Amino acid sequence: MLTHARPDLLRYGATLPVGTVDPLCGLWGEASSLVFSRPFAVDEHGALRPDLVGEHAIDGLRHWLRPRPGVLWHDGEPLTVDDLALSLRLVTDPQYRGAFKQHIGGVVDVQVDGDAVVVELERPQPGLLHALAKTCVVPAHRFTPERLAAGDLDREPVGTGPYRLVVRSSRVCRLSRHEAFHGGPGAIAEIDMIEVADDEERAGALVSGELDLAQIKAQHVAWVSGTPGLRVHPIQTRVWRALTFNLSHPLLRDPAVRRGLSQLIDREEIVARALGGHGRPQFYPAPPSSWASPPAPPVTGRDVGFATLRSAGCERNVEGVWSRDGAELALTLAYLRTETFRAVASEVIAEQLTRCGVPVSLVPITWEQYRAMDSTGLRGSEFDGIVVGWSGGVDPYENLAVRYSSTGAYNRDGYHDDEVDALLDQAVASADRKHATALYHRVLEITHRDSIMAPLVNPEYLFAARDDLTGFEDFEVDSFYEFPQYAHRIRRTAPR
C-alpha cells in the first residue's frame, strides 16, 4: 500500500504549465483556479451560484451587484465594491479589449453606486451571469488596469481563493490553505501542484507514489487501478473535443468539403479507442447534456459523406483519392504529442479518412507550438487541421458565441455568418426557454452545414487518487483545470 509522510500535504499532478497563474492576461489553469475567485461560479453539480457577489438584482437593463460580506484577500484586506468594479471594467470596457483574455460585449457602463456595482447593458443578456463565472476578480487596492495589462497579477498573485501561492518554480507551485476562505478553510493544509504534462509520466508518478491525485487517460486505467492504494474516479463533464479545419486550405474553404469530411468520421470508434468507452459521441458544438443540444444527431456515415463530397464537385481519381480540379484532398493534421486522447483520436481519424480516400499525415507538436496557435488558429500554418478541446459551459450562448459569432474570442479563422450572429443575439436576449431552444437549434444546424470544425466526443474525465482521499467523487466539471477550485473539499480518511 502507498504511504505518505505528510497527511497535511496533497501532491497534485497538473497537466498545464504552473509557471504562470494569471487568468486575466492568460488562461484559467489548475493553479489559478485555486488562487482566484469569480463573481459567480458554476458549482460541482453544474448549477450557477453567487461566489464573490453577495446580492444581485436586475432593474431593466441594469444589474446591481453587491460584494459578498466577510470575504478577505490573501493579504488580509476585505473584498470591496471597488474590487468588483475594477474587475468588471477590465472585461467589459472596449479600451481593454485585447489586453485581457476575456471580453464581455454589450455593456454600456460599469459604475459604483454606494455599496453596489451597477452594470448597464445595451440589451438584455440572460447569459451575463454565466459569463461572469469566467471573470477573475482582482484587488483594486493593489493594482491599476495598466499594471494588470502589464502582467503584474502573475508577479503578485493575490486572490480570495481557497489556497494562496507561497512559492513556485517553473514546474512546481506550493500553495497554502487560506484560513479565511469564504467557502470554509480546506481540510488539507498545503498543496504542491506539480506540472507533469505527459500523460504516461503523470500516470507513472501516481503509481510510484510521487503524486496523490491527478487526471489520467483511459489508456492508463488498468495500470493505475491495478496499483494497491489507488482508485480511479470518473467525473462527468461539459467538455467537448473537435477536429478544427484550416479554412485557408484550397479545398477546405468549401463548407461542403468540410461537412463531407465530418460525416465520414466514426465517432463511436473514437469513443471506444481514444476514450476507452469513457464518453459519448458528439455531433454538434454543444455538449449532449446541454438544453440547447438537438435531440437527434445529423445523418453521418460513408455513404452520406461520399454524396456530400460529390456535391462539392469532388471525385475519386484512379488511385481512389478524392480530388477536385486536379487537386487531391490530402490533409496534414497536427496533434499535441503529450496528450494521449488527441494523439489516439488523431490516429483514428487518419485511419478512417485514409480508408475513405482522403490521405492523412500526422505531425506531433509541442505544448509551446499548440499555445502559439491560440491567438491565430491554423491560418498561415502548415497544418490542415488539429484536434482541440473546448469547455462547453452551462450557458449555450457562452459556448457558441465565442467560437461562431463574427467577434467571438475563439473565432480564430475569421468565420462569419450574418444569420448566426443574428440568431445568437436573439437567443441570448430571449427569456423564453422554448423560443431560445429553437433559435439555438437553428444555429447548430448552420454550424453543421458549414462545419468549420467537426465535433467529436464529450469525454468523461478520469482522476486517480490515493484511496484515503475523498470529497470530490460526485462532481461534474466544465474543464479539468477548474477541478482544483474545489480542492478545499478534499480530505483524508482512513485508508480503505
Q: What is the pLDDT of residues 221-251, one digit of tens each?
A: 999 999 999 999 998 888 999 999 999 899 9
In this prediction, residue 482 carries a pLDDT of: 74
CA atoms within 13 A on the CB side of 463: 28
Q: If you average pLDDT over residues 375-394, what whole number do you get?
A: 85
Burial class of residue 20 (count of CB atoms within 10 Å of its CB; 0-12, 13-18, 19+)? buried
- Residue in the structure block whose three cell numbers are 483594486: 140
Q: pLDDT > 90: what percent of the chain?
A: 73
Better-predicted residue by pLDDT, 15 or 476? 15
What angle, rounded to 10 degrees, do the helices at 255-264 and 340-355 form? 100
- Residue 351 three-state SS: helix
Segment 46-73 mean pLDDT: 94
Q: 17-31, 56-70, 236-250, 369-383 — which is least confidently predicted? A: 369-383
Is the pLDDT at 191 greater than 70, yes or no?
A: yes
Q: How do residues 257-314 score in pLDDT, each as one tens digit?
A: 999 999 999 999 999 999 999 999 999 999 998 999 999 999 999 999 999 999 999 9
What is the pLDDT confidence band of residue 1, given thresholds at 50, 70 and 90?
very low
- CA dist 227 and 235 (Å) reads 20
Which pLDDT value is given to residue 19?
87
pLDDT tens digits, 429-461: 888 999 999 999 999 999 999 999 999 999 999
Q: Give the list of residues 6+ apart from residue 334 with CB closer than 8 angstroms, or none.
A: 362, 363, 364, 365, 369, 381, 383, 385, 386
**Is a pLDDT exceeding 60 seen at residue 3?**
no
DSSP H helical segments within 170-245, as ranges? 199-207, 221-225
Sheet with 322-324: strands ordered across: 315-316, 322-324, 327-328
Instruction: For cell 499548440, name the residue.
Output: 370
C-alpha cell at 476: 461534474
Confidence of residue 106 (pLDDT cuts 50, 70, 90): confident
Q: Phi-psi bin for 151: left (phi > 0), alpha (psi -120 to 50), beta?
A: left
- Cell, residue 380: 498561415
Q: Residue 69 corresponds to which amino acid? A: P
Q: What is the pairing mode between strands 360-365 and 331-336?
A: parallel
| Closest to 67 in 3D by CA, of 112, 32, 23 | 112
What is d(CA 321, CA 433) in angstroms, rounded to the nearest whole number? Answer: 46
Side-chain-facing half-sphere of 93: CA atoms under 13 Å? 12
405-416: per-residue pLDDT in tens?
Answer: 988 878 878 899
- For residues 245 and 258, the answer to whether their CB atoms sit within 8 Å is yes
DSSP state of 229: T
Closest listed residue to residue 142, CA positions, set 65, 36, 40, 33: 36
R_g over Cα of the chain: 23
Dihedral, CA of residue 244, residue 428, residue 65 and residue 149, to nearest 10: 30
**491 contact partners, CB below 8 Å, separation of at least 6:** 187, 188, 469, 470, 471
Q: How far apart are CA 275 and CA 105, in angstroms?
A: 36
What CA–CA distance (Å, rounded) separates 459 from 81? 39
- Quick one: residue 451, left, alpha or beta (phi over 0 = left, psi -120 to 50 = alpha)? left
pLDDT digits (tens, 9 = 90+) for 134-183: 899 999 999 999 999 999 999 999 999 999 999 998 899 999 999 999 99
Collapse the DSSP code of 289 into the 3-class scheme (helix H, G, I; strand E, B; otherwise coil) and give the result: coil
Q: Which runs of consecutive H residues, i.e. helices, occur in 93-174?
A: 128-132, 145-149, 152-155
- Listing DSSP states for 5-38 in one string gives S-TTEEEEEESS--S---TTTS---TTHHHH---
Is the pLDDT at 4 greater than 70? The verdict is: no
Asked if the model's pLDDT at residue 424 lies above 90, the reply is yes
pLDDT, position 496? 47
Tell me how many degrees the CA angle 124-127-133 measures, rounded to the nearest 5: 135
- What is the distance between the alpha carbons of residues 396 and 438, in angstroms, rounded to a whole number? 12
Is the pLDDT assigned to residue 60 strictly greater than 50?
yes
Run of H or E including 465:
strand 461-466
Strands 9-14 and 190-195: parallel
Place of cell 454543444: 286
